[in-house]
Amino acid sequence: MRVTPRTLQKYKETARPIVTLTAWDYAIARLVDQAGVDVILVGDSLAMVALGYENTLPVSLEAMIHHTQAVCRGVEKALVVSDLPFLTYQESLSQAINTAGRILKETAAQAIKLEGGHPAMIDTVARLTQLGIPVMGHVGLTPQSVHTLGYRQQGNNELEATRVTQEAISLEQAGAFAVVLEHIPATLAQTITEKLAIPTIGIGAGNYCDGQVLVTADLLGLSEKSPPFAKQYLDLGKLITDAVQSYSDDVRTRQFPPNLVP
């Protein structure tokens, strides 16, 4: 049975933790989906893990659509959410509608995610949801604001905590079906989670959220540098390097391919 935003709401109501991972191509998406995750996020983090950029800012809408199409081909059950890339939704409401509409029309994604909870963004979320576009919000550390916020933890003083909390509440009121809480204190994430009726998905926000998300490249050991709150479950990078070196040795010593006897 396909996971939907309504499914996630039921999970929150029954205290069933929501499992979320990212994907950037067909192969990874197929494996992640078969493993049984609830949500697959085609995050703009693909700018770093798939395209080699330093941060998320350079990735284009065309690239996000291209990768989301590939991910969707590999998914049968999980809810697929696609990020709106930097400056494809902040200029105007009409731009945001066009961008979100293109993703839903040109891919099989069921929802979009955007960053921020300031008043202009709340108006955008409200309009998108009125048009029937499911929206996942994102507050706390917002990577598209890297040149303003850096990668430091957010919400670690009273003023910031109040701002992050109000942004999350406003996103819910605007119609968002879930909110990502990134790199904020666990106690603040707990407070927000208890205040919201919609699910919270944490990343570097402690264990009190309704679910968790990791960048799959960090989980698999494929990232050149992972954030301090990520957990590496496998050193796939080393396994791949070792396998390629073994293949190279076999070719250079003429042990591969074998000479087949007719």
Task: Give the catalytic positions in this structure.
Answer: 182
Question: Do 48 and 238 contact (CB within 8 A), yes or no?
Answer: no
Q: Which residues contact 67 (CB under 8 A, 6 or more apart)?
A: 24, 25, 42, 46, 50
Distances from the Cα of 181 to the Cαs of 151, 171, 229, in angstroms?
14, 12, 13
Question: Do 191 and 176 contact (CB within 8 A), yes or no?
Answer: no
CA distance 194 to 256: 59
Question: Do 113 and 129 contact (CB within 8 A), yes or no?
Answer: no
Question: Parallel, antiparallel, or unpaired: how do β-strands 111-113 and 79-83 relate?
Answer: parallel
Question: Do 46 and 23 contact (CB within 8 A), yes or no?
Answer: no
Strand partners, 139: 181
- DSSP tag of 68: H
Question: Do 20 and 213 contact (CB within 8 A), yes or no?
Answer: yes
Report the sign of the C-alpha dihedral through residues 99, 170, 57, 83, in that order: negative
Nearest Cα neighbor of 7 from 92, 77, 107, 104 is 77
Question: Do 224 and 209 contact (CB within 8 A), yes or no?
Answer: no
Amino acid at 73: R
